[in-house]
Amino acid sequence: MAHTTQVIRSEWTKATTVRATLWTLAIAFLVTVVFGVLISLLLNNTFEDLPERERLTFDPVLTSFAGMSLGQLAMIAFGILLVASEYSTGMIRASLAAVPQRGLFMTAKLLVGTLLVLVVGMVTSFVTFFLGQAVLGDLSVSIGETNVLRAVIGGGLYMTLIAVFAMGITWVLRSALLAFSILVPLFFLVTPILASIEATRDVGYWFPDQAGTAIMSVVDTGERPYGPWGGLLIMVLWTVAALVAGYVTLKKRDA
């Protein structure tokens, strides 16, 4: 137990003393909040100009989270850098020499990373919601209305899961460059395009980011074949699969 505590403390020190990783968390917060407020303000001023169908399906909670599509990229960067820094600096050899139990090493880093992104994700989600609703005016909803609290908590869980998923993939790839080259285009371009085109929508909805965003919605448009909790479960399964693949890679390959 003492050894486990020491490993966790070591991983906490590594995570909180590298400026790059901490900056990504700050950027995730700022980008999500600022863009969420701007989009909410824009829609408040142009709501009457929207097509009737869009007005009928308007989701004030999801609107306030509009900046999360950019903020999640910073969360992905955090997950990548937290793991890849071990390999880019060569520290992985020293880390595994000090902690030869690779499962313990991975678990400690995962616990530290998850705790950091969970706290930042939850704070980001609640701040984004309240500021977004403040500028939506008459279009806003309160935290006590049906499914709203679930959606706001879900926003924090979404940001946490996307970062943990990135950690798992980076353990597989063992390279920040490869991880960035795959994950950033995938979640910034590929999956949004797949989910927005009618011919590929049924495929796009099953990717982790597209499925996970369902938890942040309080208006059911009937387009997805699953509900909010079903979407979050799909994202959890993707994340677990990435972590299992990462553990197998860490276990079988030399540092």
In this predicted structure, what is the pLDDT of residue 71? Answer: 95
Element containing residue 121 per DSSP (H, E): helix 102-136
Give Dmax (Cα) for the chain: 63
How confident is the model over 18-57, as pLDDT tens digits? 788 889 999 999 999 999 999 999 999 998 888 888 888 8
C-alpha distances (whole Å) from 178 to each of 61, 103, 115, 182, 255 are: 34, 23, 25, 6, 17
Contact 214, 232 (CB under 8 A): yes
Task: Enter the tokens of residue 29.
Answer: 């917060």
pLDDT of residue 57: 87
- Model pTM score: 0.94
Q: Who contacts 223 (Cβ-Cβ below 8 Å, separation ≥6)? A: 201, 205
**pLDDT over threshold 70, residue 101:** yes
